[in-house]
Amino acid sequence: MKRGFNCYLLLLITIVFASCHDCKEDVRLKQKIEGKIEIIQQRFDYGNGKDTNYISADDMFESMGYLGLLTGYIASNPLNYRQTYTDTMSLYTDFKIWRDWYEENKCGLTLEEADSIVHYQGSLLE
């Protein structure tokens, strides 16, 4: 029941935003989404021995959770013992899906609305 409602909600949001002819992009939302993707990328790099800033697994999971709740797409790849992606193909596939979702939904969607969607979707899981 919840899953059907979530799909309906995402479809409704997509239709509403697709009907907008003037695209008003909230740059803060784009920066937040790109920031979440960057955290996941840095965790992957760190977990694979690259010289990069340390990103905790908790920060990576929070970023993945935010993107998943907002877009309805949960990361595709199971994590390895280092708590990061096991391969770059899955990593970049997820990034592409999240970025494509943003491009399709960016017109009229504000940071506050996105945060509200994530908060609401997260409350359904509790």
- HEC string of the chain equals CHHHHHHHHHHHHHHHHHCCCCCCECHHHHHHHHHHHHHHHHHHHHHCCCCCCCCCHHHHHHHHHHHHHHHCCCCCCCCCCCCCCCCHHHHHHHHHHHHHHHHHHCECCCHHHHHHHHHHHHHHHC
Q: What is the pLDDT of residue 97?
A: 97
Predicted pLDDT of residue 102: 98
Phi, psi of 16 (to 5 degrees): -60, -45
Does the structure show a pLDDT above 70 at 23?
Answer: yes
Higher pLDDT, 39 or 4: 39
pLDDT at 61 over 80: yes
CA distance linking residue 4 with residue 107, whole number of Å: 24
> What does the block give as tokens for 101?
């979702």
pTM for the predicted model, two decimal places = 0.78
